[in-house]
Structures are given as C-alpha cells and as structure tokens.
Amino acid sequence: MSVKSFVPALAASSVVIATMLVANPVSAQDGPQQGSATREQSDDDFHDRRRDGPPEIVVTATGLTQLDVLAGTSIVEGFELQRSLEGTIGETLVKLPGVSATGFAPGSSRPVLRGFSGERVRVLVDGLGAIDVSNTSVDHAVTIDPLTAESIEVLRGPAVLLFGSQAIGGAVNIIDKRIPRRQLEEPFHLDGLVRADTALDTREAGLSLDLPLGQSFAFHVDGSYRNTNDLEISSFQVGSRLRQDLLDQAAEEEGEGELDEAAELREAANQRGAVPNTATETWTANSGITFFSGDSSLGVAVGWYDTRYGVPSRPGAGGHHSEEEGEDEGAEFVSIDLRQFRTDLRGELDLGDGFLDTFVTRVGFSDYTHTEFEGSEVGTVFEVQGLEARAEFNQHRRGGWGGGTGIQYYFRDFDAFGAEAYVPKNRTEQLALFSLQEVDFGGMQLELAGRFENTGIDSTPSGFDRNFNTLSGAISLARETENGLRFGINANRAERAPSAEELLSNGPHIATQAFEIGDPNLGTESAWGVEAFLRGKLGAADVSIAAFRNWFDDYIYLTATGLEQDDLPVFLYRQDDATYWGLEGEVKFPLIDSGPMRLVADVRGEYIEAKLDDGTPLPRIPPLSLLGALDADFDTFNIRGEVQWFDGQAKTAPFETGTDGFTLVNASIAWRPLRGNENVTVLLKAENIFDVDGRRHASFTKDYVPLAGRNIQASVRFSL
C-alpha cells in the first residue's frame, strides 16, 4: 500500500466499522457490559490490579489492552495522580524512578526518560502522538493538560515499538476520556479537581461530565483552566557560577566607565525570590461522543488547547538582533502563545471468537500555531498541520499466545516565519508496519516486537529531499515464580531517522537564546540495547528494579561550540557513537499491616551515565537521585513524608555547567471524608519544606530557573 493511499484506506476502515455497527445493533445488555464510568463499580476495569498474587500491569495504550507488558511500565492514576499533579506532564512524573523533566519553565516541561528526551521520547494521547512541536525544542509546551487525564502510563521495553522509532527512551501515554470508552449505567458521571499552590500562586480547576444518550451512545465534555504567577524561589535566581560571572562582568564594565551596563548586570546577579516572566495561563475544552454496539464502538472527539506562558531570559544575555534594526531589544520579555485544535476518531470492531479479537482504528488531526512574542511584538510564528493514524488487528489470547499487528501513518506540514524562523518550511511523511507478539511456554513468557518505518522529509525552500528506511526489533524473555516475582531480560535493536529540525535548523532561536545549526547530511541513528529487570512480589515487598545499557551508532545530539553568532551561543547538531547505561528501581515494604493502619516504606532511586565513545559526557544527564518515604494509610486518612536527595553532577559536556547536590523534604495529608468511599479526596501537600535551592541538571535553563521554593498545595478531587 502506498503512503498516499493509506489515509483514504484507513478512513474507509472506520466507515466499515460504523457500517457493521449499524447493521448489527446489539444493545449493551446483550453482550458483556462495558462497565460504568466509576472504577469502583466496574467488573471489567481495564486498569485492574490483582490484589492477591503477582502484580499484573495491563495498560490501555492502543494495541496493548490484551497484553501483560513485561518490564519498565509505571501507571499513575486516581489518588496518586492527584498527589503528583503539577502544571505539566513532565513535572507530574518526576518522582517516578528513571524519570526527570526538561524543566525549561513552569509553562513548558517535557518528560525525560532514562536521560533521553526530545526525539527519543514519545508523548502520546491514547496511543497517538500529541502532534505538536514539543519534541523539537525544550521551550515548546506539550499540548496535553494533566489536569483532565484519567491516568498516565510510562512505557518501556518491546512494547514501545508499537508507537514509533522515536521511542528509544520510552513513551508516555496519557489516557483521557474525550472519546468515551464505556457506556454508563447511571444518569450522569461527574469528575472534578480543584487545586491551588503558593510557589506559583496557582489557581486551577478541571471538570468532566459523561452522559448516556439512549441505549447506544455516550457523550463526554470536559474543560480546564489554570492561571499562575511568576515562580517563587528560595534564593538567587542565577546559580553560583553564573552569578560570579555576572559580577565579574559588572566590575569590568564599571572599570570601562559603562555604569548603566554595570548596574544592569549587578541587578541580574542579585535577582532573588522569584523568576521574572514565568507566569502562565492555560485553558482547554474537549467534547466527544461514542456509539456502542455490543463490544464494538465508534467515537469521535474535538478539542481545543490554549496557553500563554513566559519564557525566562538568561540574565546578562546580550541582544540578538542585527544593527539594522536600530536598537537592541534583547531585554524584551519573550512569551509564547500556543493554540491547538485537535480532532480524534477511535473505532473498535469486535471480530468474534476466531483467531482475531478486535480491529482498532485511531486517527488524530491537529491544527497547531504557536507565536513567540518579544515584548508585544511578534517574533516568530510556528504553524503545524499534522495527521497521525493507525489501524491494527489484536489477536485473541489462545494457548498462551496473543498480540497485535498494524500499520501507522504520520504526516506533518511545518512552517515557521518571522525574525527567528530558524527552521525552513518542511514536510515529514512516515509509514510504518509493526507487530508485537507475546507467548507463554514452559513457565516462561516471550515478547517479540518489530517495526519497519519509511520516513520522507522534504523542504522546497532549501531544495532538500531525503528518504530513510529504518528497521527495529526487540525481544523479551521473562519467568515468574509461584510467589509472583518476575525476572527477565530485554534486548533490542532500534533505528531512528533524523528529524527535520536536526537536519535543517540554521538560525537564531530566541526562546532558547541559541543559534542552532543542523546538518542536512545526518544519517540514521541506531542503537543496540539490553535491559535486565526484576519486578513483583519479593516476600512482603513490591519490587521493580531494572538495569539497562544502550550502544549507539551515529547518535545525534545538540552540542555547544563555544562560538557566538548574532550575539548568541552557537549549538550544532552532530553525530557520533555513544553509550548510555543506568539503574533504576523502587521497593515498597509494609512495616505495619494490621487493623486500621497500613504503614509502608517506599524507596526509589536512579543512576544514569551517558558519554560519547571518546569519553566526553553527554549534556543534561540527570545525576544519582534517591527518594525515601513513609506512607501511612488509615480508613479516612493518608499521611506521607518524603526525603528526596539529588547528587551533584560534575560529569558535564563541553561548555556545560555542573549542578550542586541538594535535598528536598516533602509531606502530604489526604482526607477521604466519605468512609469506605474514595470518590472524594481532600489533599494538603508541602513541597520543599526547608526552602532549599535546587537545580535540575536535565534542564536547559538550570543556571537561571531553579526549582520552586517552599510550596504549599491544596486540592480537592471528586467523582460523582
């Protein structure tokens, strides 16, 4: 099948699903019930965890509903999602083992998995990409609001090949309810969350409503609003090294008689208490409807995401405009106004009791615009129209064998115009075939995954037109003991085509204050990887531990050169061999488990090293970190205390600054006022209780955007 014929064919397949649903109307009462929107009432909860015996993780990402993913999967939902909730997906997940965040600004923070970010981590909505430009630059926000998420899944291992070769580091899959997945057995279902904090003066609320429409339809609508002020911090805005540089520059300017410049540099060095220009305002609205016929369904949804957020400037940075403009506007505050209209379709056709179980179609279309303002003036506008679609057959699990096979199409039309349009207009088109199979035999479990991908990138203004074929595969072998402890090993070979930004960038990027230069001759990046894992029950403890190593050929990375162009530091995209390795784990052990109280010790940790073959460290690799917590659960209360320790990072890339170690102390108390019912939870949380100065090494802006100071948060979550 050609790329150009795939989209019409996929649309036709959705029509087929709709036609078969209408031709064979089966009420919900005639087949297995879909369950209500309330998890407590559902016998077919697709997030079910076995309370007795080994922990089974069944994720909802399209194509994996039937499979027990072998390794590296974390799911955040319900009360845990409420307790972890922050304004961005990246910050919401940072306490999970192996997860950090780009932390560019309060309005933009994307997940970093095992030290990987950008093009090596996919952020998904129900198995489809966000279809934005958050993967291309750290200042670009992810167009997904965690406030309205039902659950968030972090996926690793062979399963990630279902979602793209860009998921070498893993994938983050956000499950929301914009397309209803199940029929309601109640007149309506209402979910809501209200949250406030002190470090950002956050005021936010999200609300979703589900309604049954007759016997065969379910309707959903949701919305959210968030408003924050500038980030409050514990000490100086700039790190100690940058502060000393600014003071030295001030003394130098003063010695040359430039008193105004010296005063500005000293003011920047002494800025404390808050990070200027970090306020945000975000609102979203989504609506969807699904038609059900027995175990089959067809749903559509539309949504709008709108945010405006400040982009903090590096203190002491010079102007970036040419002399012809007549003045230096480098001190102007930069902000980003981002808007996305998105429409989605999801069809699931029950194929009966034969070899195949279901045929699933997912299509997402995005019309995305983001404008970078310099003060009140428009600087650069990015426009993207994109489509991602997939169709797959899922097999019945028979004789210990199950799996899924499908085809995926992706198209992105990218344009940028304005003073700093550093990437020329281009198009990316991708067609992929994939399969994941799982087999149980002789007490062992085997997963096999494969993906072939054809990627075409062309840019008419640049006269650029290249095509890449990549082939990736993975195998995982595991064994589970009678006591529920699973251990095994994954091995993979992954290939990734370079992105348009890595190939074609050439110009000043005001938001990141860098002059970025791509390389149109970049080749395919490839990697061998191996991972050993242990998870499940070890005595009374729940354990999840993994050790991994990746060997890259022609690893693509953005590196500082020490040069300047247009008063901006020059960064180049280069290719070299590289190695990643690391450890991550979590152990939960019950100290008291009797009567009205359960007290659990929770210990988490991670360590990553990444370097080029010549021994040069790669930039922005998170240091060793450990988390220890005590979690006490009563009938109506939950109390948790945490200590997070982050080591300093001295293994830095050329022209990269290191970070000092720091320790955070956090605590929370949750109250469930309805005894025996978790549908209403009131939460009070204190983060960074001792108001320490912490800087996340994975952040591009770590030298001038520290972590929040002491932060008191309050939230209420309800499900009615």
Q: What is the pLDDT of residues 36-95, one digit of tens each?
A: 333 333 333 323 333 333 334 344 555 444 444 445 578 899 999 999 999 999 999 999
pLDDT at 44: 34
Q: Within 10 Å of residue 382's Cβ, how many Cβ atoms?
A: 23
Beta-bridge partner residues of 488: 478, 533
Domains parsed from the chain with CATH numbers? 3-237+276-323+330-719 (2.40.170.20), 238-275 (no CATH)
Tell me the two tokens of residue 652: 């830095």
pLDDT in tens, 675-685: 767 789 999 99
Alpha helices in 314-449 (DSSP H): none
Q: How many angstroms separate the CA atoms of 184 and 571, rounded?
A: 53
Using alpha carbons, select from 569, 423, 397, 394 the residue that is nearest to residue 498: 423
Cα torsion for 218, 296, 162, 549, to the nearest 10°? 70
Residue type, position 598, single letter = R
pLDDT at 320: 43
Q: Which phi and psi (to 5°) does residue 135 adopt?
A: -80, -10
Q: Which phi and psi (to 5°) does residue 266 adopt?
A: -70, -40
Query: What are the angstrom distances between the C-alpha of 400 and each of 59, 393, 441, 442, 443?
Result: 18, 18, 7, 10, 10
Query: What are the angstrom distances between the C-alpha of 113 and each of 100, 121, 450?
Result: 6, 7, 21
pLDDT at 273: 95
Residues of the chain with pLDDT under 50: 1-7, 9, 25-59, 63-70, 319-330
Q: Are 244 and 235 in contact (CB under 8 A)?
A: no
Tell me the two tokens of residue 655: 């022209």
pLDDT at 671: 95
- For 622-688, the DSSP string reads ---EEEEEEEEE-SSEEEEEEEEEE--B----TT---B--EEEEEEEEEE--STT--SEEEEEEEES
Torsional class of 8: left (φ above 0), alpha (ψ -120 to 50), beta (otherwise): alpha
